[in-house]
Amino acid sequence: MKYKHIIWDWNGTLFDDVHLCLEIINNVLRKRNMETLSLQKYKTIFTIPVENYYKKAGFNFEDESFEIVGKEWMDEYEKRKYEAALTKGALETVKKIYDYGISQSILSAYKQNTLEEIVAKFGLTKFMSNVVGLNHIYATGKLELGKSLIKKLNNGTNEILFIGDTLHDFEVAKELGAGSVLLSSGHQNKQTLLSCNVPVLDDFSELNLFLFG
């Protein structure tokens, strides 16, 4: 493998929470008598910052602030997050990379303390050099976190691969000068991801072929 460090996204990449996230946003929409989302629509409109995706889902934030709606969503997510699990093949791939002697980090728009808790719950902490999240719950983006992580890693950026599931992951990787691979099994659809002109893979079996041949 030509890479010396792997940066993982969490939600939708290592952690298979797409259906849970969809169910929760539909509960939020239903409470307001708003039209709910199909999985296809969800994966078409999802984006980071998530405030923009909420607007695409129909919120205008004039009568009710994004902070209120976002907290309502996150409160239910925190109660139910363990209904979701690691993506099929994720743990085995992380272990394999670790056994190859390649260091790994998680870079997420999830809140730091809850990110650390859930990563530990699923037994991944010992494989990670760094677990990096935001200091709030509103998933605004992770570019600045990524810049800080790159400085800490002190690798040549061409030796770093970012694996995620959204345009934002690609944009962060590009800004950092790192390579990127995207998984279409996460929060955005394949058609959206293909616009990035980087490898777009369907699952972890394809990712393993990409990484190890």
143 with 45, same domain: the answer is no
The predicted pLDDT at position 85 comes to 98
Q: Tokens 């009568």 map to which residue?
A: 63
165 with 205, same domain: the answer is yes
Give, for all 213 residues of the chain, the pLDDT tens digit. 788 999 999 999 999 999 999 999 999 999 999 999 999 999 999 998 889 999 999 999 988 999 999 999 999 999 999 999 999 999 999 999 999 999 999 999 888 899 999 999 999 999 999 999 877 544 456 778 888 888 887 655 568 999 999 999 999 999 888 999 999 999 999 999 999 999 999 999 999 999 998
208 with 117, same domain: the answer is yes
Asked which of 83, 105, 122 is the last residue of a domain, the reply is 83
**Tokens for 207?**
């990712």
Global pTM reads 0.92
12 with 111, same domain: the answer is yes
79 with 107, same domain: the answer is no
70 with 104, same domain: the answer is no
The predicted pLDDT at position 155 comes to 57
79 with 90, same domain: the answer is no
CA–CA gap between residue 168 and residue 21 (Å, rounded): 18
CA–CA gap between residue 93 and residue 205 (Å, rounded): 9
104 with 203, same domain: the answer is yes
Total domains present in the chain: 2
The predicted pLDDT at position 176 comes to 87
71 with 111, same domain: the answer is no
What is the extent of the structural domain holding 44? 18-83
The count of other CB atoms within 10 Å of the CB of residue 54 is: 21
168 with 71, same domain: the answer is no
128 with 178, same domain: the answer is yes
Asked which of 83, 101, 116 is the last residue of a domain, the reply is 83
Angle at 174 between CA 170 and CA 179, to 5 degrees: 80
Asked which of 83, 112, 138 is the last residue of a domain, the reply is 83
97 with 200, same domain: the answer is yes
The predicted pLDDT at position 145 comes to 83
